[in-house]
Structure 1
């Protein structure tokens, strides 16, 4: 992954190396490689290091060169190439311990999770408390389990990504969201020379508009007051669209230069002359500006003293006469020992940024930070897949408070090319469908109606179709209750809710209507052999019955329990009585008064006569079979015998009133 000494995408890994490659590595090629590396020309340095490696005559030197080759590839976002070099450096026992850390990072970015785990564990044996490696292990487990899957749709913005060079850091220019600015390394238009840092073009700021058909126009570079011979990028717009903040990296052939932030105003559709922001001092690196909607707070990235390691996110607020106050670090919840970069601010004040050290999926991941008033600190959340990937994901921009916008990512590119992606969160869709049927006969019940009432104000009557089915759309974050009524049947009441649901859902509901006649058998109230305890399914059915009784206050039930002929009749009567009393006790616990219930066990004296539905479900039985003990004994197979006994072990509800 990259560094941005002269180039914005590469700023993330900017660091001034304070030493040359050591010892016995003389020769002009290695001397040129040293110089190119020190001033951040990583693409050029890699070419020179490869030539020097072929002439190296001892393993230590090979390991050292391999390490710096790995650094060149990592800093230009080529993790697979970097992996080979770091692995070779580790194999040659090169003394730079972080070679093992970066090896793990590159394996992670290449989706080789088992190899990454091994590399992190070996590194932690040398540096046990390195939080970056610990988070790397956690990231491997997260990526392997893929536990943060979201509903976002994401697709490449093909009309904007119309070259083979990197495009990144998009931002909207106005509240109409029909104009975007972004950074690009494309070279075709002006035939610019390729960058010695990345092998791509230098970075400039481009603009694209949406036409009347909703298509993006071909991107055009901004004029030369903004785009210069140096690198410009990571543009962010003020809330009124009249000011742009961006980063500029000036280039020096002899030494690395720090990134700087600029502001430029627009009047009459034209940009003026950029003015450098005086923040932090001349020698300090400041980049990736993100201005709040009210224009009072500026977030940015820096490695200035007082941070937590790597690049941190800082903020400053406006002072008198348009100046900016003392920078304030955003704290240890947001910033880590790694790099936190590419901040952006949403209308509600929530902060988004990318990090390579928080737990993620590899490379840079995008995170959301929300300030918790009670804890008086930030809460940080990974945005999950598909917004994040195994590549670098960064530079997110939202369409106001819509769950839609743009981001940049290197996903799917072995060459480290960044592209701009559009993302959106589809609206949640909820519905219900179901069937109304006669609880006794299982036949569909068409002569009924359903009244649906919701906390959102819904109050509608649904007719039941001829086949007993019904259906309706439901709203998010709404609680519903519906009642089904039909002449000659007890009313049925049901509740459902879409509150808190984060995924689309269709509720499938079967409504069994109790006819106002006797001998109703609920399907799922069954008992195991010699048992009278209620299982989970039985309790769910009794909950349904209790709801019906509470809705129909005049209902009085006789609870009749049956056993199957598996023992003496006296034992069967005692067992069935205990079953009836279990059911009665449970209904009473649900608020049904004692005077509306009675319990009786009849043993095995009333075996089941097989119904059409039962015969269809159990093909070894015929409609009309009577399940006497002698009949069951003649059935083939213990499983068939047990299924027949289970039909006999039942509860019947006889409606007295």
Structure 2
């Protein structure tokens, strides 16, 4: 989506002419970027790149300018170059944005890998926590998919069309289609025309009349968008740039923020257009939605108290027409990214767009039961409604199961298009149970991370999935229907475990303990654990004794075995190649044996269970003796540690 909460802003552009020097070009590009003149900023920065100029700032700004214009493929290219720079410390937010752009390219494995890095850098971030608790999000989205038939509407233009709203037998929507007015109606963010509200009549056959502008009193030389109407059709709330005395009203930095406005229908005309009192001069308030009883007005905003780039809030509409204090909907809905375009259905389901909850890429549409915010999770509506690009401004008629949404997906008519849909099966937003617990080793009682958990019903169908976190904890959503369910737990080197869970009136079950039994059989006296556990050898680099990263992975399995059989004692035997002299290799192998011993002790294995010895080059694996000319690969095979069971 190329126009959303932050998109409809206007900054003063700084014109820079005749600047040839590279330094002046950088200043010009930075000025354009800071002025939200992203279209020109991208062009200027790309010219600098062609001339051989590059820097962290250039890559960041090129990535961000494209990201903010929903050009995710281009943004991904520049973020990748940003991370290829050496000796730089880059804010963790760029890890998240890069992961998001990879989703839009359908590179989900790569995206998840960057989300792991984001989690390591910022584990307290709500988006990282949601990713950790919903690592199988693609499966969940797949289960929610296939419920919609969608169609691109014939009323779409070559520009941006979005924010559909029901109004009697009409569809009201926002459009940046060419209005035939002068150049000053061109928006610097993306070089497109400003938005106006349009209307089209929907016929009985779901055809549409030619769109016309809604009202001259509403449409001004500014952005107007995202309308919502009261059920009696007499009141409209909508979004407009901060507008006063026929022109923009800007803050000290030249920003024309968004405000919510109210209009009343009198004698067939929209009149008494007034800004709502909880707007602000230093932040945006946009995209209104009414509760089913019309006592609350929901909206998106980046006002103080916002968790992320934009959050969803509500105010109470008092009986005297006044408004309460804005209330943030909290972390069930809002994340550190964008939550925007709320809509409330007659069934009191809040639908909203987000790129902070796990999704397919860009903005996805989610739904959550407003009555159960404290105990439910937002659900992704699935494909084909959601795509790898931006999908947003969703509305639905709960009676007909038909509605509309907007998307900038491929093969559309314009930059954003409005699509109609028909829903064949509704999601159940409030019928689920929550199962929490921990996975441990049966014998050692040690926690087990990354165990795979599947919940099955009485028919053996998988109805929920999850993975234990780094502390062994799991948090699973299951069905709310009464009955017996089974948690099947899988982990490499452990036998499969099945745990029965009874779902009754209590839909929240905590403190479930699942114990896994290792499938390691005890090794015989004199056995090499490397062979017993079918492990690779612990190899060392030439003339080195430190434990390599690939070796550390192998050592973890040795540690797992020793924890499983606490009475086992082993001798660590380390070996060298024959490149150096015998005495030197003897000392080197002792260092390697000691390094292996110290690594195991550091990992919690008692020193009394370990002995170590260096064998130098006395026990070579091949023919590579002092007088034999061997390849580096063959010499590598002799630089190793072994683990022999001695008790």
TM-score range relative to shorter protein: 0.5 to 0.7
Q: C-alpha deviations, 1:321-370, integer Å up to 9, x for none? A: 42211111112211112221100111232211111111221111111111
Residue pairs, 1:406-421, within 5 angstroms: 406-412=404-410, 417-421=415-419
- Retained in 2: the 8 A contact 1:351–1:370? yes
1:76 to 56, 69, 85: 69
- The DSSP-based 3-state class of the residue aligned with 1:208 is strand
- The DSSP-based 3-state class of the residue aligned with 2:187 is coil
2:171 to 175, 180, 189: 180
Distance 1:134 1:365 in 2: 18
Distance 1:2 1:135 in 2: 26
Q: 1:44 to 1:301 in 2, by over 3 A?
A: same
- Residue 242 in structure 1 maps to residue 237 in structure 2: no
- Retained in 1: the 8 A contact 2:2–2:415? no
Aligned residue in 2 for 1:166: 160
Shift of the alpha carbon at 1:400?
4.2
Q: 1:47 to 1:385 in 2, by over 3 A?
A: same
Q: C-alpha deviations, 1:212-239, integer Å up to 9, x for none? A: 6541011112233211111110111111
Q: 1:105 to 1:297 in 2, by over 3 A?
A: same
Q: C-alpha deviations, 1:45-81, integer Å up to 9, x for none? A: 2122223334564x5x2x3201101101100111001
Q: C-alpha deviations, 1:271-290, integer Å up to 9, x for none? A: 11421011154323211111
Residue pairs, 1:638-653, within 5 angstroms: none
Shift of the alpha carbon at 1:149?
3.8
Q: 1:213 to 1:102 in 2, by over 3 A?
A: closer
- Retained in 1: the 8 A contact 2:159–2:414? no
- The DSSP-based 3-state class of the residue aligned with 1:423 is strand
- Residue 342 in structure 1 maps to residue 341 in structure 2: yes
Distance 1:52 1:415 in 2: 32
- Retained in 2: the 8 A contact 1:179–1:210? yes
- The DSSP-based 3-state class of the residue aligned with 1:103 is helix
- Residue 106 in structure 1 maps to residue 101 in structure 2: yes
- Retained in 2: the 8 A contact 1:207–1:222? yes
- Retained in 2: the 8 A contact 1:313–1:343? yes
Distance 1:137 1:379 in 2: 14
- Retained in 1: the 8 A contact 2:162–2:406? yes
Aligned residue in 2 for 1:591: none
- Residue 42 in structure 1 maps to residue 35 in structure 2: no
Aligned residue in 1 for 2:83: 90
Aligned residue in 1 for 2:190: 198
- Retained in 2: the 8 A contact 1:78–1:414? no
- The DSSP-based 3-state class of the residue aligned with 1:260 is strand
- The DSSP-based 3-state class of the residue aligned with 1:274 is strand
- TM-score, with length taken from structure 2: 0.58
Q: C-alpha deviations, 1:400-443, integer Å up to 9, x for none? A: 43321111112226998211111112489xxxxxxxxxxxxxxx
Q: 1:265 to 1:147 in 2, by over 3 A?
A: same
Q: 1:370 to 1:427 in 2, by over 3 A?
A: closer
Deviates more, 1:124-133 or 1:377-386: 124-133
Distance 1:2 1:410 in 2: 8
Aligned residue in 2 for 1:629: none
2:23 to 14, 23, 27: 27
Distance 2:139 2:179 in 1: 40
Distance 2:176 2:385 in 1: 23
Q: C-alpha deviations, 1:512-568, integer Å up to 9, x for none? A: xxxxxxxxxxxxxxxxxxxxxxxxxxxxxxxxxxxxxxxxxxxxxxxxxxxxxxxxx
Q: C-alpha deviations, 1:107-147, integer Å up to 9, x for none? A: 11221212222332344443344443454578785337853
Q: C-alpha deviations, 1:1-40, integer Å up to 9, x for none? A: 65757744xx7xx999xxxxxxxx9733332322222232
Shift of the alpha carbon at 1:189?
4.9
Q: C-alpha deviations, 1:252-289, integer Å up to 9, x for none? A: 59622321110111122221142101115432321111
Shift of the alpha carbon at 1:148?
2.4
Aligned residue in 1 for 2:494: none
- Retained in 2: the 8 A contact 1:225–1:273? no
Distance 1:297 1:89 in 2: 44
Q: 1:273 to 1:283 in 2, by over 3 A?
A: same
Q: 1:280 to 1:222 in 2, by over 3 A?
A: closer
Distance 1:37 1:5 in 2: 18
Residue pairs, 1:434-445, within 5 angstroms: none
Shift of the alpha carbon at 1:95?
3.4
Distance 2:197 2:295 in 1: 24
- The DSSP-based 3-state class of the residue aligned with 1:347 is coil
Distance 1:401 1:211 in 2: 17
Aligned residue in 1 for 2:15: none
Q: C-alpha deviations, 1:142-187, integer Å up to 9, x for none? A: 33785324443333333211x221211111012xxx2011111212
- Retained in 1: the 8 A contact 2:153–2:420? no
Aligned residue in 2 for 1:495: none
Distance 2:119 2:211 in 1: 47
Q: 1:39 to 1:225 in 2, by over 3 A?
A: farther
1:67 to 60, 63, 72: 60
Question: Gapped runs of 5+ residues in structure 1?
Answer: 17-24, 429-499, 502-657
- The DSSP-based 3-state class of the residue aligned with 1:282 is coil
Residue pairs, 1:352-501, within 5 angstroms: 352-372=351-371, 377-412=375-410, 417-426=415-424
Distance 1:136 1:169 in 2: 29
- TM-score, with length taken from structure 1: 0.57
Distance 1:115 1:325 in 2: 45
- Retained in 1: the 8 A contact 2:115–2:128? yes
Question: Gapped runs of 5+ residues in structure 2?
Answer: 13-20, 243-247, 427-479, 482-647
Distance 1:139 1:183 in 2: 35
Q: 1:348 to 1:123 in 2, by over 3 A?
A: closer
Report runs of 4+ in structure 1 exceeding 6 Å deviation: 137-140
Distance 1:390 1:81 in 2: 14
Distance 2:49 2:131 in 1: 30
Q: 1:188 to 1:286 in 2, by over 3 A?
A: closer
- Retained in 1: the 8 A contact 2:99–2:110? yes
- Retained in 1: the 8 A contact 2:11–2:35? no
Shift of the alpha carbon at 1:196?
1.9
Distance 1:35 1:202 in 2: 22
Shift of the alpha carbon at 1:376?
5.3
Give the number of the structure whose alpha-carbon radius of gyration is greater: 1
Aligned residue in 2 for 1:21: none
Matched positions, count = 410
- The DSSP-based 3-state class of the residue aligned with 1:322 is coil
Q: 1:87 to 1:141 in 2, by over 3 A?
A: farther
Aligned residue in 2 for 1:486: none
Aligned residue in 2 for 1:119: 114
